[in-house]
Structure 1
Amino acid sequence: MRTVRDEAFEVVSRLDMGTIFANPGSTEVPMLTDLPDDLEFVLALHEASVVGMATGWALGRRSPAFVVLHTTAGLGNAVGALATARVNRAPLVVLVGQQDRRHLALEPFLTGRLTGLAGDYPVSVEQPLRAQDVPGALARAWHTARERRGPALVIVPMDDWSAPAEDSGVLPAATEVHRATGVDEAVVGRLVEVLAEATSPALVVGAGADDRATWRALVALAERLRCPVRQESFGARAGFPQDHPLFAGHLPAARSRLRQVLAGHDVVLCVGAPVFRQYPYEPGPLAEPGTRVLLVTDDPEEAHRSPVELAVLGGPGEVCARLAERVPARDVPMPATHRAAPPPPPGPSEPLRAAHVLAALAERLPADAVVVEETPSTRPDLHALLPARAPMGFLSAAMGGLGFALPAATGLRMARPDRPVVAVVGDGASLYAIQSLWTAAHYGVGALFVVLSNGRYAVLDHLARGHGGGKPPWPGFAEISVRDLALALGCPASRPTGHAELLGILDDVVPGLADRGEPLLLDVPVTVDPTFDP
């Protein structure tokens, strides 16, 4: 007798979701025991790590990843990571186990009130009315996650898996869904008209422009306009080659500084980026009066909330390629851009700073390396010293919550074993998802984890000092050894004690990163730069 489980796994295999990221419980045992040979199970030791790994995998593959969570506890633990996946535009199919359907009305042990637990962050939530509707619900979730680029939840009672499959001859859901694409030449014409009239245009790019075709189109457009290109603030991915002569750095996240950067530009075209992402609130406009702001994005929510003169919903690559063909070339000098110089090596008694570590990585990493960032107190140094030189060369948590980099780097390396993957993480951030190192070690994931250990929450300390010189009530945690935690989880780890030892390890490890078959964590003691300003 064919069961609902048999048909559901057929759907999972057909949709190329053969890697299952999970931290299961009793309500998922009927589904997961004796998996078919074509499905691979990846265990993580906490649900936030499960979703973080799946997020990295989905972004690396550009295809929905399959996640299994355990009823209320599992989904509740994963909500923050699901929010990050949504803002990072990561397509996930998230199956949440539920108690036996036959006595749900009595609310037995492990019953979950699940439909609203993740709030507004899922792009869809479905609890099939019948067991036989589960395969179709999984297929619909795959299409929805892919179309809306976020987590789609399916809640499945544990007894549904053994129920007989329906033999109706009707497909459970659409086999394929394709969105017709095209570029409205009239709308492109409006953008061309504004750009052609500009005396000092600028481009702002974001995560929505992070693919090879869009990079190519944006380079052609920027060179035709001879204008500077800046990356959105807190961008989760790079929208432009950051080693290009026209790349002018990252936008600041405060309005007064943003206005200074955009001052003098009469037209700002934003591509795949929100207008404009901020962090501390400041009164006043985003740009000076007289600056016209335009947007090209394929994200309807981004288009609807952006305060712009014209928002164009469409594929950024296709629109920018048309613009590069039609915008008149500007006969003006190329704008001068500034590149941060690496710091000089530390003296014999000088402590290591994060910039020393980042400069050492920059000298050694190949152009196709992926840098996964979660180091709030040293992010400006990382942006300045480690430019993204290839699409998917940079990845960060768009939501801002900690606990992303270790699992995301693990999942990304699983999805893209052809790319060297390096996570640069603060020690405070690493502790939110330290369990991920066990998964990386157990499954032979060859990522390099560089932990910048200053023994404190440096960003919070800085913010407290800036808040009227207030004294933070939280202590440091310098007594924690991230290296020892990694070793306890089975992950190879080292704690270099100086610049020379660090360089020796990197010279030994980095050339073989692309072929590495086990993780390595470097727990690098660093001092906080006294000039740090987030």
Structure 2
Amino acid sequence: MTLGTQIPHSPDRDRTPAPGSTAERYLTALRALGVQTLFVNAGTDFAPLVEAYAQEGSGGRYPVPVLAGHENVVAGMAHGAYLMTGQPQAVMFHVSVGTANAVCAVINAARERVPMIVTAGRTPILEDGAVGARDTAIHWAQEMYDQAGMVREVVKWDYELRSAAQVEAVVRRAVSVACAQPRGPVYLTLPREVLAGPATDGPRGAAPVAVPAGPAPDPTAVRELADRLAEARYPVVVTTAAGADPDAVEMLSQLCERYAIGVAEAGPRYLNVPADHPFHLGLPTEAFGEADVLLFLECDVPWIARRGAPRDDAFVAQAGLDPLTSAYPMRTQRLDLGITTATTSLLTALDAAMADRADRIPPERADTLAVRAAEHRHRLEATFAGPTSGAITKPLLSRALAEVLDDDAVVFNEYWADPRILRRRTPGTYFYLPAAGGLGWALPAALGAKHAAPERTVVAAVGDGAYLFANPAACHHASAKHGLPVLTVVANNARWDAVDASTRSVYPDGVAVRTDESRLSDLSPQPAFARYVEASGGHGEEVTDLDGLRPALRRALHAVQVEGQQALLDVRCAR
């Protein structure tokens, strides 16, 4: 947030907003349409909203304001709150500069189809002559020709509120567009003098929001897919984000178990099926060699050619709200059948179609898939088995975290926590960094989740680089301010692993690999991260060896669950 220096003005230009301001009407409309919380990072454009909240009295008419010290934290909190509630969330920033700080988080929300009502003040249009007109020099410097242009490529709709008469219609439009499938953020600018003006004309009351139902699959396509799946020798469903709808988790699990269909996960960003599903085959590359029919369900990047691809003779179907992932400028993985559909709609229709074809399923298929799933589990256990003392590695940290968390705990993972080791089983308990990779997401999202579901244990699993991106001082301040005790586990190896991994991938035999070139990835010397949380009254520890890891995790969980304190473990990991 960037604020200008206030300059004095003459008493005859002081104006008090009239009762029933547009700001009051706007906040009332948000609440009437189900927006319970307004996550904010405020500035000079908020004056009418400040006055409206001051006049609210005991509260209840407007969304509850939740303040955080950085826009990325604000938007991340709204993202996490949506993941817990499934309800649209609203945020507001300070004009152009506040929006600029939040663009990364808005891109994350767009790629994950989060219905976020992103609002920002707009520099007063009028230079004089109205309540809310320009009264500080920064109002000239912060004005842009096209403020919404910063986010237009990733939001579904953008608009500027122009009159009190249209408040309810504009808010209704924003909520309905954001919630229509595929969901996503919208952007609304609010000029200060419009918010400050009287709201005496136009219709009142908020009509119900009409959100179109999600698309249903084409019946002919469902029949073809069911024929292929029923007659296949080795059919596999591959998913990345089916679990974005928690109801889909059980439906997909039962479909695969009932009709002997394997399931694999490509970079899962949600819990899509329980980790102990009897036909869980692991990564899709582990199944590509045998799979003769593949259904890629909500996979924005179904496979990466250099890491493995389906057989040339395999039948490939892709299904989801946007099976071609049309928001991505280039994405050409082949498909033999494409189905535009909501996940649960497809699973419902496919279950019925498969029931009619159950007698065509090869009887030996279930045994084959069960054997392959068991082989996958054995490989996994062998790969991630390790010592119980000595240096800490990220796989060993994942294993320790899995051992101390209960099934209801919610994990927000930004890179290091391996879902294959965490073995989560309950829908809505695992979320991975959004597809856009906008860093600094997990800790703010964990805070928003805790605000929306205070009874849940919430964990942010972050690397040291991602933790720095999260504006940790602002995050821990928000945790203390709003009473949001979350556990942050920092896997700290003092470098950006993603940069090193990319270099190894592109130049496996290059000089950089041979010489361990690290000037663009080395983050040492690292701060004492535990002090960050202690500065906001939380529990902080540095952990350096495996012997101390599990006791430290249990102490941190006790601080969060029993003492109501936020906690952070700075876990020094081997490179």
The TM-score with structure 1 as length reference comes to 0.88
In 2, the alpha carbon distance for the partners of 1:366 and 1:436 equals 25
Q: 2:288 aligns with which of 262, 266, 272?
A: 262
Within 5 A, what are the aligned runs for 1:412-427?
A: 412-427=449-464
Q: Deviations over 1:143-185 (max 9, x none)?
A: 1111142211100101111222253347676544342765554
2:94 alignment counterpart = 70
Within 5 A, what are the aligned runs for 1:126-165?
A: 126-147=159-180, 148-165=182-199
Q: 2:67 aligns with which of 40, 43, 51?
A: 43
1:189 correspondence with 2:207: no
Q: Deviations over 1:437-486 (max 9, x none)?
A: 21112211121111111111123234335521312333332332211222
Q: 1:302, CA displacement in angstroms?
A: 2.8
Q: Secondary structure at the match of 2:126?
A: helix
In 2, the alpha carbon distance for the partners of 1:265 and 1:486 equals 49
In 1, the alpha carbon distance for the partners of 2:511 and 2:278 equals 40
Q: 1:95, CA displacement in angstroms?
A: 1.0
Q: Which moved more, 1:350-359 or 1:207-216?
A: 207-216
Q: Secondary structure at the match of 1:360?
A: helix
Give the total of aligned pairs. 511
**1:31–1:158 contact (8 Å) kept in structure 2:** no
1:495 correspondence with 2:542: yes
Unpaired stretches in structure 2, ≥5 consecutive residues = 1-18
Q: 1:406, CA displacement in angstroms?
A: 0.8
1:343 alignment counterpart = 385
Q: Which moved more, 1:16-25 or 1:205-214?
A: 205-214
Amino acid at match of 2:48: P
**1:206–1:239 contact (8 Å) kept in structure 2:** yes
1:464 correspondence with 2:503: yes
Q: 1:291 aligns with which of 314, 323, 326?
A: 314
In 1, the alpha carbon distance for the partners of 2:544 and 2:313 equals 54
**2:316–2:336 contact (8 Å) kept in structure 1:** yes
Amino acid at match of 2:223: G
Q: Secondary structure at the match of 2:531?
A: helix
Q: Which moved more, 1:338-347 or 1:290-299?
A: 338-347
Within 5 A, what are the aligned runs for 1:317-336?
A: 317-327=344-354, 328-329=357-358, 330=361, 331-332=363-364, 333-335=367-369, 336=372
Q: 1:111 aligns with which of 131, 136, 143?
A: 143
Distance 1:299 1:515, change over 3 A: farther
The TM-score with structure 2 as length reference comes to 0.82
2:32 alignment counterpart = 14
In 2, the alpha carbon distance for the partners of 1:301 and 1:132 equals 40
Amino acid at match of 2:436: M
Q: Provide the alpha-carbon RMSD of the alignment.
A: 2.7
2:157 alignment counterpart = 124
In 2, the alpha carbon distance for the partners of 1:180 and 1:292 equals 26
Within 5 A, what are the aligned runs for 1:355-504?
A: 355-375=395-415, 378=416, 382-397=418-433, 398-433=435-470, 434=472, 435-466=474-505, 467=507, 468-470=510-512, 471-474=517-520, 475-504=522-551
In 2, the alpha carbon distance for the partners of 1:516 and 1:49 equals 24
Distance 1:422 1:360, change over 3 A: same
Q: Deviations over 1:294-352 (max 9, x none)?
A: 122123663796632222222212321332233234312142222222534433xx212
Paired-residue identity, %: 27
1:246 alignment counterpart = 279
In 2, the alpha carbon distance for the partners of 1:401 and 1:75 equals 15
1:274 alignment counterpart = 300
Amino acid at match of 2:319: V
Q: Deviations over 1:174-220 (max 9, x none)?
A: 54434276555433222212212322111102213333431222122
**1:369–1:393 contact (8 Å) kept in structure 2:** yes
Q: Secondary structure at the match of 1:129?
A: coil
Unpaired stretches in structure 1, ≥5 consecutive residues = 252-257, 529-534
Q: Secondary structure at the match of 2:511?
A: coil
Q: Secondary structure at the match of 2:400?
A: helix
Q: Secondary structure at the match of 1:155?
A: strand
In 2, the alpha carbon distance for the partners of 1:158 and 1:208 equals 41
Q: Deviations over 1:474-519 (max 9, x none)?
A: 3332332211222234433121343333222333454786666332
Q: Deviations over 1:253-303 (max 9, x none)?
A: xxxxx4x7412211101222225254xx749x9422111111221236637
Distance 1:180 1:90, change over 3 A: closer
Q: 1:426, CA displacement in angstroms?
A: 0.4
Q: Which moved more, 1:299-308 or 1:118-127?
A: 299-308
In 1, the alpha carbon distance for the partners of 2:215 and 2:563 equals 40
In 2, the alpha carbon distance for the partners of 1:356 and 1:46 equals 33
Larger Rg: 2
**2:107–2:438 contact (8 Å) kept in structure 1:** no
